[in-house]
Amino acid sequence: MTAMNAQLVLIVAAILFILGLFGVLTRKNVIFMLLSIEIMLNAAGLAFIAAGARWGQPDGQIMFLFILAMTASEVSVGLALVLQIQHQHKTLDVGKLTQLRDEAVAD
């Protein structure tokens, strides 16, 4: 694998990461924010795989495995939080979850 190919893969990973970042910043629904975080983690894993393939070492793939396990646990906790938010507030809009806001600042 040449250096130019690795550069191309890194560019694709950067584009995917930026798309995920825009998703987190622009969407208000909690489920869409979780999906965008998934996209960002996947793009980071793609960069790891590209680096591992560039030097022919298995370390990049091992880092991807760790990212995979971390993503699985993060998704399970995040979806449990989504269920609790829906159950207690009857909404998934993060703009409406204002219980932590300071009242003096809010008014």
Partner 1 sequence: MNLLFYISSAIAIIATFMVITRYHPIHALLYLVASFLSVAMIFLSLGAPFIAALEVIIYAGAIMVLFIFVVMMLNLGDDTAKQEKQWLTAKVWLGPSVLVVILLGELIWLILKGNPSSVEISVVDARKVSAALYGKYVVAVEMIGFLLMAGIVGAAHIGKHHRKLTHRFLAEPQNGNGADAIQEIQKEPLETVN
Q: Which residues bind partner 1 (CB under 8 A)?
A: 1, 5, 8-9, 12, 15-16, 19-20, 22-23, 26-27, 29, 31-32, 34-36, 38-39, 42, 46, 49-50, 52-53, 56-62, 64-66, 68-77, 79-84, 86-87, 89, 92, 99
- Choice between 58 and 107, CB closer to partner 1: 58
Q: Which CB, 99 or 103, lies closer to partner 1? A: 99
Is there a contact between 29 and 92 (Cβ–Cβ < 8 Å)?
yes
Q: Minimum distance from CB of 13 to partner 1 (Å)?
A: 9
* Residue nearer to partner 1 on the CB measure, 87 or 107: 87
29 backbone dihedrals φ, ψ, rounded to 5°: -80, 140
Residue 71: name the closest of 88, 54, 48 by CA.
48
Q: CA-to-CA distance for 6 and 107, rounded, in angstroms?
A: 52
Among 61, 66, 48, smallest CA distance to 6 is for 48
